[in-house]
Amino acid sequence: EGTGVANYVARWASADTLTSGALFDNGTDVGIGIASPASVLHLRDSNDGGATELIIDNSAAVGSTDELTNIRFRHAGKTSAFIKAGREADLSTTANTDMFLALWTTENDSPSEKMRVTAAGNVGINQVNPQRRLHVVGDVEISGTIFQSGSVFTAGGGGGGGSSTFV
């Protein structure tokens, strides 16, 4: 027994009473917290002064470093890109809670990692284990001025034996 509102998915208000929930389904689009969803899935929350979050939780147990949480983008049934978050270390202690964020794209039907941000804040482009704040594997094109503070070159740095030209 109970009442409801058209297009809202029913929920149990008590053990024996149905009522309208926050999930709106018009047969095409689904809205949570909104009665007129503008897309396939439309989430809405009013959180003045705070953050509205969408949480995707991989609840795998601690003890390894190969669990990921992904957002996959597809077009015409093919994977075009991923946003991946994962472990950098065994999470068995609170000291080992390092995580990374990676961007993957697909070239010639083969997805691969193109950029990673480590827990330490290092960014790798075509490098999954960046050793500096910015670690690029491949050519870099820069238009504009490069501003530098500190040493320009340090021992062991540089281009791996290649030449450097500055204009």
Q: Do 61 and 72 contact (CB within 8 A), yes or no?
A: no
pTM: 0.69
Per-residue pLDDT of the chain (167 residues; tens, 9 = 90+): 566 778 778 888 888 888 887 777 777 888 888 888 888 888 888 888 888 888 888 877 766 667 788 999 988 888 899 999 988 877 666 666 788 999 999 999 999 999 999 999 999 999 999 999 999 999 998 888 887 777 766 555 554 444 455 55
What's the pLDDT score for residue 167? 54
Which pLDDT score, from 0 to 100, does residue 22 have?
73
d(CA 71, CA 154): 39
Three-state secondary-structure class, residue 35:
coil
Query: What pLDDT is recorded for position 156?
Result: 53
What sign does the dihedral 50-55-59-65 (CA atoms) show? Answer: negative
Angle at 89 between CA 86 and CA 90, to 5 degrees: 105
pLDDT score for 50: 85
Q: Are 69 and 58 in contact (CB under 8 A)?
A: yes
Q: What is the DSSP secondary structure assignment for residue 2, as one 8-state letter?
A: B
What is the model's pLDDT at position 161?
47
pLDDT (0 to 100) of residue 67: 79
pLDDT of residue 51: 86
* Res 155: pLDDT: 55
